[in-house]
């Protein structure tokens, strides 16, 4: 009986192996967290620090839960150019330096003094999608590879530039259909 119990315990431990770790993404603002969820699909765990659209980032004070989220992140996304200055303080105070920080202002070559509400710029979301897809594809996440190929294909077949692609993909549901295709392939 003892040998059978030990064998069952070993079998259970082998079968209970955790799945591959999800990429932990922390976004300063909810709008960027939403894009990260769409690009990463089920292979990412996304946390938004400011998840209330009515929240004022200028009045935000970092919380212990935000500090824990940043400390545990593999990837951070922030707006930059003074919109979310508390992110720099959270990163500096973190005992763990995340693998990468995507600053949307840097993707758009924006400088302090420019309009910090970057999500209104039609070029911001395609730039963020490309940066996220590249990061996640490098980490070998299938959903990110699919998003990158869907993005290239959509640009090729619709002949629209980045500025209009952000609006177009929201209306056409191409990203959602891409995840259905990924699920079908697996």
> So where are the chain's domains?
19-185
Check: CB of residue 30 under 8 Å from CB of residue 51: yes
Read off the pLDDT of residues 35-93 as tens digits, 9 standing for 90 and up.
999 888 888 899 999 988 788 888 899 999 999 999 999 999 999 999 999 999 999 99
Strand order in the sheet with 23-29: 44-50, 23-29, 75-78, 100-103
Mean pLDDT value of segment 26-32: 95
Segment (H or E) for 144: helix 142-158
Q: How far is Cα 75 from Cα 85, in angstroms, rounded to an integer? A: 17
Check: CB of residue 25 under 8 Å from CB of residue 75: yes
**3.10.20.600, 3.90.1580.10, 3.40.50.1980, 3.40.395.10: CATH of 19-185:** 3.40.50.1980
Read off the pLDDT of residues 94-133 as tens digits, 9 standing for 90 and up.
888 777 899 999 999 999 999 999 999 999 999 999 899 8
pTM of the model: 0.70
């Amino acid at each position: 009986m003892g040998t059978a119990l030990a064998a069952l315990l070993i079998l259970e431990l082998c079968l209970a192996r955790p799945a591959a770790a999800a990429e932990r993404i922390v976004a300063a603002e909810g709008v960027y967290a939403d894009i990260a969820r769409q690009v990463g699909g089920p292979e990412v765990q996304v946390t938004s620090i400011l998840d209330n659209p009515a929240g004022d980032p200028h009045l935000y004070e970092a919380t212990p839960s935000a500090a824990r989220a940043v400390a545990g992140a593999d990837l951070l996304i922030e707006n930059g150019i003074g919109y979310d200055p508390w992110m720099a303080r959270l990163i500096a105070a973190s005992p763990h330096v995340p693998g990468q920080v995507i600053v949307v202002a840097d993707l758009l070559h924006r400088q302090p003094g420019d309009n910090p509400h970057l999500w209104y710029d039609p070029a911001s979301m395609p730039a963020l999608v490309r940066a996220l897809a590249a990061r996640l594809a490098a980490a070998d996440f299938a959903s990110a590879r699919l998003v990158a190929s869907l993005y290239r294909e959509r640009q090729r077949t619709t002949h629209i530039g980045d500025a209009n692609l952000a609006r177009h993909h929201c209306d056409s549901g191409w990203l959602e259909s891409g995840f259905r295709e990924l699920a079908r392939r697996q």
